[in-house]
């Protein structure tokens, strides 16, 4: 998802996101890693760079992405998504869920303004 919007992504960002997979350290008790990744990307794109900066847009986009994710997938917790059939032992691999999360993410950004690097049509 990051490569689509940002081009080449620094390997440190991949390292930063790595432990969020499987609902934080494969515990499956926290927020889905695909949702966490989108939230982190919103922070990277729209987050403040110093304490006094306005971060309302970033917070609004993160809240909207989460709401859109829930609207489509009904839950955010890894274990609950697995119970719906996602994951290595489910009907669909996590890659299917990640694909859905990316589409939800891009749709969420397009609802608010053009995606960075793209023109509105």
Lowest-confidence segment of 9-13, 43-47, 83-87, 104-108 by average pLDDT: 9-13
> Can you give the pTM of this predicted structure?
0.77
Question: What is the rounded distance in angstroms from the CA atom of residue 104 to the CA atom of residue 111?
Answer: 11
Per-residue pLDDT, averaged over 87-116, amounts to 86
Please give the backbone phi and psi of residue 86, each rounded to the nearest 5 degrees, phi first: -90, 155
What is the pLDDT averaged over residues 3-24? 65
44-99 per-position pLDDT tens digit? 889 888 988 898 999 999 999 999 999 999 999 989 999 999 988 889 998 999 99
Under a CB-based contact definition with an 8 Å cutoff, are residues 78 and 55 in contact? no
Domain borders along the chain are 2-112
Quick: pLDDT tens for 24-36. 666 667 788 899 9
């Amino acid at each position: 998802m990051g490569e689509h919007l940002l081009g080449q992504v620094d390997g440190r960002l991949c390292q930063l996101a790595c432990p969020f997979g499987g609902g934080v350290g494969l515990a499956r008790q926290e927020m889905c890693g695909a949702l966490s990744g989108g939230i982190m990307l919103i922070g990277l794109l729209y987050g403040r760079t110093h304490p006094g900066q306005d971060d309302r847009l970033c917070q609004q986009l993160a809240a909207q992405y989460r709401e859109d994710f829930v609207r489509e997938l009904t839950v955010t917790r890894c274990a609950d998504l697995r119970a719906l059939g996602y994951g290595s032992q489910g009907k669909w691999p996590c890659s299917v869920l990640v694909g859905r999360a990316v589409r939800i993410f891009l749709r969420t950004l397009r609802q608010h303004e053009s995606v960075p690097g793209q023109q509105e049509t």
